[in-house]
């Protein structure tokens, strides 16, 4: 029996999690083999592996517990890989030697596929004196550019991931430059940015007081706190960055506040971590634990939830011992505290199955109840592990129980911790689950709402053609199976209709019982007023969130989160029955394209013709000294020119070329990722069409016709598969067609 609920689920498993040999031959014959491989590896650290392997397998079976992708892909392979997802690197010293030592550590970590976070507040501001060399400091932003270049280089060398988080304190003298850094579309593309906002700053904002910008005890200047807050808000309103992290709240609630100071998070924000901290992730699939979905007895199977959580905690604790680490400092940090991040996915689907509307009070109450149950079960399971295997090495009962999070924990759980200790210092987190949610049958991702109940996906076939298939949300598919053609009830909402404050309410409800943090994107409509937008952040602060990340469509990152019906196309020039004869002379332009990794440049000439008062492309010539390019450049020249000479709205050629990806990897050109040489050629032709007025702007060329009546998902093209429609989910651009995400 096929375990997969949708074709896309099986394709994700085959591409990302199925074990293959060095020759590419599959070694996992089925998903059951993958589950067995992971279960056996995680059980191997037990004193009685044979007793635990079947229990671990049962947790994985039918996608109920979803370890993070690195565990699914790496456990039991015998390969020297880390099973941890993301890292916060060591504190950056304020010295040239220390800075470049830190850069080297980052490169080694990223080379193994880890996303990294850094606090750049420790680097002296631009213009500060550098004693002993008679020079002024270049400031943290200049070194962030170096990190960004390193990350691009690591990615171009074949690394699967390249996400980084940069944080800066709200009182650093360069904070205004940090806030504005990504308004340049070509700068710091490998970074997510977040401002570390303190309680003192929020109090100063409320009082409209002055705010000093300080480094090393020296006040560089003073600004109005409310003015700085509005600059942060305006930047994220217009450019979707930076995010905001309420850093004092994080440190006050941290169970390990007595042993560490947190100043950064991993790239998507769900794991605030100390220097050299590492995050280990996995998710409970809530959609698989609903009894009688859509029926009169619909509800969460709380006993099954307790049992699954306990098993998942044990599996994740074993990962700490089974994993390798890029740096010895990371291994020492992980084993001293045994931090894990157990989260959830499928929340929105689970709510729909029990008749609750995402964002409504009832849904928030149910979320709070389920997350409390998960936290309670996780902490009790970790206490049981401490009885059996010992508490984490840095455990100090009185100081641990004095943390903000443990003070609100149930009395019996607190007493159990006091009496027996606890195996894992922190246990819960809600991480990005875009890929594993597709693998689990397209359940809703993390605690995010359903993006769309269905959409059309273009699938690249082996012969280079594309076919279309419908991808249906897990709960929506279940409704179809049980209710036939009955229309969706009114609680079947999606991301397109939700108010931003609905998102905040759900994030706050989940955060109450999450001891780390939550990866969540609050999607805002493009027409939201600036004042209403600022209210979203104040609501997140007031309701106890540890941070806030919004996404409003903008010119730099594009209109990512939109599902629109196709607009009527403007009348296109009529396609000619016969190609036009070539005039003796044509106007045109020649462009030089130097693709990284290619020995010789490619020269692209586009000649134009006047037609009905409109200039349009008539022919293309593509030339290169590289003889390996000869055959395909000649073929491309003839084919494109033949299309152009037929007339009509030939801009679609641009989109077809830009969608071509090279499985060996693309390259970064002028601050953006280009998936192949052919895509780069398409970009050159597109720029020419814009220059002559044939296209209104970048991305304006017509796409392939959508299926009649289907939604068109607008958004950037995926760098892995070339299909347009990437979405901002949980703080990271994610492709719905192939599951590609810089967040893993």
Active site residue 270: yes
DSSP of 235-251: HHHHHS--EEEEHHHHH
Helices 500-511 and 530-542, axial angle in degrees (round to 10)? 10
CA dist list (Å): 643 to 271, 485, 640, 648, 650: 52, 44, 5, 9, 7
Query: Which among 251, 266, 424, 523 is annotated as catalytic?
Result: 266
Active site residue 251: no
Q: What is the dihedral of CA 343, 720, 725, 453, to 10 degrees?
A: -40
Q: How far apart are CA 305 and CA 538, in angstroms?
A: 34
Dump strand ranges (E) for 325-419: 341-345
Contact 616, 608 (CB under 8 A): yes
Distant-in-sequence, close-in-space partners of 44: CB < 8 Å, separation ≥ 6 = 322
Contact 658, 698 (CB under 8 A): no
Tokens 């989940």 correspond to 510
Tokens 């849904």 correspond to 363
DSSP of 414-460: HHHHHHH--S-S--B-B---HHHHHHTTSPPPTTPPPS-SEEEEEEE
Q: 82-119 burial by CB neighbour count: b if 16+ within 10 A, else e?
A: bbbbbbbbbbbebeeeebeebbebbbebbebbbbbbbb
Is the peptide bond preceding residue 686 cis, with omega within 30 degrees of 0? Answer: no
Query: Which among 53, 105, 270, 686 is annotated as catalytic?
Result: 270
Contact 192, 243 (CB under 8 A): yes
Q: Which of 467, 442, 466 is nearest to 454 (CA)?
A: 442
Tokens matching residue 54: 């079947």
Contact 18, 38 (CB under 8 A): no
Query: Which among 86, 151, 170, 268 is annotated as catalytic?
Result: 268
Indicate which residues carry an active-site annotation.
266, 268, 270
């Amino acid at each position: 029996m096929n375990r997969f609920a949708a074709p896309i689920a099986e394709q994700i498993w085959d591409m990302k999690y199925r074990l293959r040999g060095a020759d590419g031959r599959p070694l996992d014959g089925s998903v059951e083999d993958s589950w067995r491989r992971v279960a056996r590896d995680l059980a191997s650290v037990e004193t009685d592996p044979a007793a635990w392997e079947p229990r671990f397998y049962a947790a994985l079976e039918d996608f109920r517990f979803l370890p993070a992708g690195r565990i699914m892909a790496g456990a039991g392979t015998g390969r020297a890989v880390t099973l941890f997802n993301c890292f916060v690197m060591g504190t950056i010293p304020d010295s040239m030697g220390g800075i470049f030592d830190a850069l080297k550590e980052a490169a080694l970590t990223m080379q193994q596929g880890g996303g990294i976070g850094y606090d750049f507040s420790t680097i002296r501001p631009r213009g500060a004196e550098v004693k002993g060399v008679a020079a002024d400091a270049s400031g943290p932003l200049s070194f962030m550019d170096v990190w960004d270049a390193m990350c691009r280089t690591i990615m171009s060398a074949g690394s699967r991931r390249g996400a980084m988080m940069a944080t800066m304190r709200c009182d650093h003298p360069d904070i205004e430059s940090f806030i504005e850094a990504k308004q340049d579309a070509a700068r710091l593309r490998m970074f997510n940015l977040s401002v570390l906002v303190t309680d003192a700053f929020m109090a100063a904002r409320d009082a409209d007081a002055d705010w000093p910008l300080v480094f090393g005890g020296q006040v560089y200047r003073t600004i109005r706190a409310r003015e700085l807050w509005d600059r942060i808000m305006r930047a994220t309103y217009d450019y979707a960055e930076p995010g905001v992290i309420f850093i004092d709240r994080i440190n006050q609630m941290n169970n390990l506040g007595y042993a560490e100071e947190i100043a950064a998070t991993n790239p998507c924000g769900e794991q605030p971590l100390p220097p050299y901290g590492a995050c280990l992730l996995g998710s409970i699939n809530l959609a698989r634990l609903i009894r009688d979905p859509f029926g009169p007895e619909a509800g969460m199977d709380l006993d099954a939830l307790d049992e699954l959580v306990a098993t998942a905690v044990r599996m994740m604790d074993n990962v700490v011992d089974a994993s390798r680490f890029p740096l010895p400092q990371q291994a020492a940090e992980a084993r001293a505290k045994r931090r894990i991040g157990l989260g959830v996915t499928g929340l929105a689907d689970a709510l729909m199955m029990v008749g609750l509307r995402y964002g409504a009070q009832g849904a928030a109450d149910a979320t709070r109840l389920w997350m409390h149950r998960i936290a309670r079960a996780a902490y009790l399971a970790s206490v049981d592990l401490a009885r059996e295997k010992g508490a984490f090495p840095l455990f100090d009962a009185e100081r641990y129980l004095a943390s903000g999070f443990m003070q609100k924990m149930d009395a019996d759980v607190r007493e159990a911790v006091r009496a027996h200790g606890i195996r894992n210092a922190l246990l819960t987190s809600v991480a990005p689950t875009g890929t594993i949610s597709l693998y689990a049958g397209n359940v809703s991702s993390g605690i995010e709402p359903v993006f769309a109940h269905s959409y059309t996906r273009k699938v690249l076939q082996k012969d280079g053609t594309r076919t279309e298939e419908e991808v249906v949300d897990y709960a929506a598919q279940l409704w179809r199976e049980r209710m036939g053609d009955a229309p969706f009830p009114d609680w079947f909402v999606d991301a397109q209709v939700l108010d931003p404050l609905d998102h905040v309410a759900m994030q706050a409800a989940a955060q109450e019982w999450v001891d780390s943090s939550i990866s969540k994107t609050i999607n805002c409509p493009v027409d939201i007023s600036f004042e209403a937008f600022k209210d979203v952040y104040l609501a997140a602060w007031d309701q106890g969130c540890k941070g806030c990340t919004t996404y409003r469509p903008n010119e730099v990152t594009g209109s990512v989160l939109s599902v629109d019906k196709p607009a009527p196309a403007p009348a296109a020039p009529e396609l000619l029955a016969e190609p036009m004869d070539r005039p003796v002379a044509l106007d045109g332009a020649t462009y030089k394209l130097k693709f990284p990794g290619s020995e010789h440049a490619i020269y692209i000439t586009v000649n134009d013709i006047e037609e009905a008062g409109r200039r349009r492309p008539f022919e293309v010539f593509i030339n290169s000294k590289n003889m390996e390019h000869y055959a395909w450049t000649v073929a491309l020249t003839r084919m494109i020119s033949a299309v152009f000479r037929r007339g009509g709205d030939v801009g679609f050629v641009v989109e077809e070329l830009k969608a071509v990806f090279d499985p060996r990897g693309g390259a970064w050109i002028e601050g953006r990722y280009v998936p192949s040489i052919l895509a780069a050629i398409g970009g050159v032709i597109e720029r020419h069409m814009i220059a002559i007025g044939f296209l209104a702007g970048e991305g304006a060329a017509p796409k392939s016709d959508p299926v009649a009546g289907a939604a068109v998902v607008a958004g950037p093209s995926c760098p892995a598969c070339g299909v347009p429609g990437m979405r901002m989910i949980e703080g990271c651009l994610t492709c719905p067609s192939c599951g590609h995400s810089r967040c893993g």
